């Protein structure tokens, strides 16, 4: 059988590594939001796996919402333009919100989103990202909660795609060069 695991050159973060990151971030959020109710807003599609694991680790009242934005085509570098493909279904004025992202790369997507949501008057707004590639940053944005800082490599798995594939890998890895077309 020629499954997707055979497309992977190297595993960077195992399922256990990723679970530990989710647990640590959940403890940080619980500490910071003690006695509050938080609204987690996942940025589709890449954040769906992280959101699911993070939310299940959180032992405080929370609700979840989803937005879809895009700044990338099918490729590996940002177009610099962001468009909202799916907006929130709820009001966020006066609420404590955390934007949940898979990866903070150039920062173009999150800068845009943070500005957009801040204008709607939440009580507070923070960012949780599983992965942070600070070397690639083009805008002045940081995350309040970070799973791990990673080197400037293109990675897939655990929600992250290459041409919409590999989101279902349970770990994060690097593709063999022959699979980048």
Catalytic: which of 17, 32, 102, 105?
105
Q: H/E/C letters for each residue in 57-113? A: HCCCCEEEEEEEEECCCCCCCCCCCCEEEECCCCCCCCCEEEEEEEEECCCHHHHHH
Q: Which stretch binds ligand IMP (CB under 6 A): 17-25, 60-68, 105-113, 115-123?
A: 105-113
Helix, strand, coil abundance in the chain, percent, nearest 5? 25, 30, 40
Binding mask 147-176 for Mg ion (x = CB under 5 A): --------------x---------------
User: Which of 33-41, 86-94, 101-109, 120-128 is the region at the interface with ligand IMP (rule: CB under 6 A)?
Assistant: 101-109
Q: Is 105 considered catalytic here?
A: yes
Query: Residue 63's CB: how many other CB atoms inside 10 A?
Result: 13
Which residues in this chain contact Mg ion in the complex, by CB under 5 A?
A: 161
Which residues in this chain contact ligand IMP in the complex, by CB under 6 A?
A: 46, 71-72, 78, 101-110, 154-156, 160-161
């Amino acid at each position: 059988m020629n499954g997707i695991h055979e497309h992977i050159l190297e595993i960077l973060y195992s399922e256990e590594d990723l679970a530990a990151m989710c647990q640590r971030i959940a403890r940080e959020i619980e500490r910071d939001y003690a006695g509050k109710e938080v609204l987690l807003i996942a940025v589709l599609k890449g954040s769906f796996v992280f959101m699911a694991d993070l939310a299940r680790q959180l032992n405080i009242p929370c609700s979840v919402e989803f937005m879809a934005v895009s700044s990338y085509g099918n490729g590996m570098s940002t177009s610099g333009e962001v468009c909202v493909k799916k907006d929130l279904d709820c009001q966020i004025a006066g609420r404590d919100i955390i934007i949940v992202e898979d990866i903070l790369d150039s920062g173009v997507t999150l800068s845009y989103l943070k500005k957009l949501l801040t204008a709607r008057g939440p009580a507070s707004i923070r960012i949780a990202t599983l992965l942070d590639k600070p070397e690639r940053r083009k805008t002045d944005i940081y995350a309040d909660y970070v799973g791990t800082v990673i080197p400037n490599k293109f990675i897939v798995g655990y929600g992250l795609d290459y041409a919409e594939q590999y989101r279902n890998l349970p770990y994060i890895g690097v593709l063999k060069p022959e699979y980048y077309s």
